[in-house]
Structure 1
């Protein structure tokens, strides 16, 4: 089955964070108490893509191995439906998401970049690797994004799915329609963190 055929069936889209929604760098900035404050960079293109995906009917979330207040803040800003941090074994969270939604593993797409993502990528309906992904992850993927994580890779995944479903252009026009209340509701918060 082609990646496009797989994408037509997708209802749930889950992202890894480091290396997918970010470029994988983790900045630790010392504060006055001698503790570290974590900082990461996120792509605005990905944020807008998440709004488009939600408007297009996708249920979207993240699963990450790390625990991070920075990620919690960004996930809240993006209005993500599923937020799982501290997940060494990501299939546990995947099974919980599928139980909550009633969808099957074939209706779930996952975007990853490193070997911790392989158990999900090997089972999900549409396995997506970012351009910066490790060799083993790219080998398991049905689709590799043109852009790396943190630089629009997540947006590439959303555009690919919505294009395969024949809804990308319609969703863009809905988003641009200032009178469309569904577009307003699907949009990310305005960054007032």
Structure 2
């Protein structure tokens, strides 16, 4: 089955975080208490893409092995429906998401970049690897994004799915419509303010 045929069925889109929604770098700044303060950089294109995906009817979330306040803040700002941190075995979270939504594994897309993502990518309906993904991940992917993680790979995945489903143009116009309240509040983040 082609990537396009698989994308037609997608209702849920799940992202890994490090190396997918970020470039994979983790900055640890020493705090006065001897503990580190973690920071990461996220691509604004991905944030807007997540808004477009939601307007297009996708249910969107993240699953990551790390626990990070930075990720929690970004997830809140993006109004992600599914947020799972501290997940060493990501299929456990996937099963919970499918149970909550009532969708099948064939209706779920997953975007990953490293071997921890393989169990999900081997089973989901549409597996997407970022351009910077490890070769083992690219080998199982149905689609590889043109851009690397942290450089718009998340937006690439959403644009691909919405394009195949025939809704990308409509969703963009819906987002640009000044009278559309759903679009107006969809991606108004506050960061850590």
Distance, in Å, in 1 between the alignment partners of 2:145 and 2:167 is 19
Q: 1:146 — aligned with what?
A: 146
Q: 1:165 — aligned with what?
A: 165
State the secondary structure of the residue aligned to 2:91. helix
* Alpha-carbon contact 2:73-2:191 (below 8 Å) kept: no
Distance, in Å, in 2 between the alignment partners of 1:22 and 1:157 is 14
* Alpha-carbon contact 1:79-1:188 (below 8 Å) kept: no
Distance, in Å, in 2 between the alignment partners of 1:61 and 1:192 is 20
Alpha-carbon deviation of 1:34? 1.6
Alpha-carbon deviation of 1:181? 1.6
Q: 2:116 — aligned with what?
A: 116
What's the CA shift string for 1:146-165, capped at 9, x where partnerless?
A: 00000000000000000000
Alpha-carbon deviation of 1:190? 4.4
State the secondary structure of the residue aligned to 2:34. coil
1:74 maps onto 2:69 in alignment: no
1:92 maps onto 2:96 in alignment: no
What's the CA shift string for 1:110-160, capped at 9, x where partnerless?
A: 000000000000000000000000000000000000000000000000000
Distance, in Å, in 2 between the alignment partners of 1:191 and 1:166 is 32
Distance, in Å, in 2 between the alignment partners of 1:88 and 1:35 is 23
**Alpha-carbon RMSD:** 0.9
Distance, in Å, in 1 between the alignment partners of 2:189 and 2:38 is 21
* Alpha-carbon contact 1:51-1:188 (below 8 Å) kept: no
Alpha-carbon deviation of 1:184? 2.2
Distance, in Å, in 2 between the alignment partners of 1:175 and 1:61 is 20
Q: How many residues align?
A: 193
Deviation beyond 4 Å, 4+ runs, structure 1: none
Unaligned runs of 5+ in 2: none
1:9-24 alignment, distance < 5 Å:
9-24=9-24
TM-score (structure 1 length as normaliser): 0.98
TM-score (structure 2 length as normaliser): 0.98
Q: 1:129 — aligned with what?
A: 129
* Alpha-carbon contact 1:11-1:58 (below 8 Å) kept: yes
Distance, in Å, in 1 between the alignment partners of 2:14 and 2:173 is 24
Unaligned runs of 5+ in 1: none
Distance, in Å, in 1 between the alignment partners of 2:188 and 2:165 is 22
Q: 1:177 — aligned with what?
A: 177
Structure 1 residues 104 and 45, CA, compared in 2 at 3 Å: closer, same or farther?
A: same
1:64 maps onto 2:70 in alignment: no
